[in-house]
Each structure stands twice: as structure tokens, then as C-alpha cells.
Amino acid sequence: MSNAPIGVFDSGVGGISVLNELRRTLPHEDFIYYADSGYCPYGGRPQSEILARASTITEFLLAQHAKLIVVACNTATIAAVEYLRATYPTPFIGMEPAIKPAIAQTRSGVIGVLATGAALAGERFHRLLAQHSAGHVRIITQPCPGLVEQVEAGDLDGPATSALVEHYTRPVVAAGADTLVLGCTHYPFLRPVIGAVVGPEIHLLDTGAAVARQTRRVLEREGLLTSAKTAGSVAWHTSGDPAQLTMIVELLAHDQRDG
């Protein structure tokens, strides 16, 4: 079982940002990546539908003998990870917006959280806010409809993408935020354009590397680290257009040896 693959899924290709970190941290592991692009974006869908998709994909990954599943999607984590953990015996790793490190880092006392509307509306997110909110820190939440679709299309820095980024980030920065939490796994691919819009003095945080470290800890705890010594592989699956996935993978997926 230790040499079985790790399953990773997202509403689309955004979770590749997490997969890249996983491959850097766990270079000998094999992965199965499932992009649910036929149903992307999740942000405007009801929780019941997201939960149903998460369950369907989980069963597919388990049929492929996944030894652990990374829910590489903030929206799916908020809607479904507690149900998945209660329903299936496999370990699940979920996503959590980097609110705690943002609170520790901010100097202005204002942080912004960029995410999908569904993620920001979820009960799990509100529990996270209540857990980490401090009286001296103001947290501004900003839903960002349209950004996921831009990444899915491979438009990471075009005029339309830049205009959306400016529309969503300018008011948050104008309100005093010095730290922006990238609360969707698609958004790390927009770091260059976000940085260009908000300027180098604004800190951008995501949790891909932290999720990779947690995945390693769980594998070690469960005795599931691979014994392989060669570089691991990735098997790609999608509910959308396979040709589109191939094009996006070439754009977004970086082997750990590529830096």
C-alpha cells in the first residue's frame, strides 16, 4: 500500500499549484490528479452539488488505489472534507486559507482574503475566522468571480485577467491591507499579475507548501511513505476536455526538478 499513488483533486487545474509543491516535497511518490473541469467553477454551485462531486471523484481515486487524497480546492474542502473523512477510511488532506500566518505577519492590522464566493460563505471558513481572528486585526473578504475561469483558460496575465485582478485587489489594498491571502488554489498562478497590480510591499500568502508538509507528516504517521527511489509520476484525469487539460498541464505543471 505504501507504493500506491496519492490522489489529488480540484474543481479544475488550480490544484496543480498544490501538486507542484507536493512533488517538490515528495519527489518519489506517484500521483493521480483529477481536474473536475467539466463542473468548474465550484464557486457558484450549491454545497450539496460540490459534496456530490467530491464523493464521486473520491470513489474514482479510491478505485485507482489512492492511499491518501489531497482535496486541493478550498471550496471543496469547505463543502465536503468533513463528510469525506467521516465516510471513507482513507486519510484526507484539505486546504485552509493562510489566515493564521497572515495575522501573524500583518503590520497594518488589515489583511485581505481573496477566494470564491462559495468558500467565503462556507461554515468551515467562518469557524476558521472565529478561531484565528484577533481584536486588533481587520479581515476583509473579497470574492473574485471570473479569476478561476481565466486560469482554466490559461490566461494568466492578459488584459482581461489584469483588469479582474485590479478590480478585486485595489479596494482591499486601499482599505489598508498589507497582506493578501490567496484563498483559492487557482490564484497562486496569478501571483505575478497580482504582484504587479498591488506592488511589492503587499505580501501574498498561499498554503500549498504547508499542505505538502502536512501530507508528508500524515504519510509518515500512517507508514505510507513510498519505498521507491526513482522520480514519481503523475497520471492525469479530467471530467472536461482532455486536450485542454494537456495544454494547461504544459503551462502550469512543473516537475520538482524544474524548480
With CA atoms as reference, report the closest residue to 184 among 12, 14, 9: 14
Please pick, among 78, 102, 120, 184, the residue that the annotation labels catalytic.
184
Structural contact between residues 97 and 207, judged by C-beta atoms closer than 8 angstroms:
yes
The 3-state DSSP class for residue 91 equals: coil
* Region label for 112, one of left (φ > 0), alpha (ψ between -120 and 50) or beta (otherwise): beta
Q: Is 149 exposed, middle or buried (0-12, 13-18, 19+ CB in 10 A)?
A: middle
73 an active-site residue?
yes
CA distance 34 to 10: 7
The 3-state DSSP class for residue 169 equals: helix
40 an active-site residue?
no
At position 174, the amino acid (one-letter code) is: A
Please pick, among 16, 22, 73, 120, the residue that the annotation labels catalytic.
73
CB neighbours (10 Å) of residue 89?
6
Residues annotated as catalytic are 73, 184
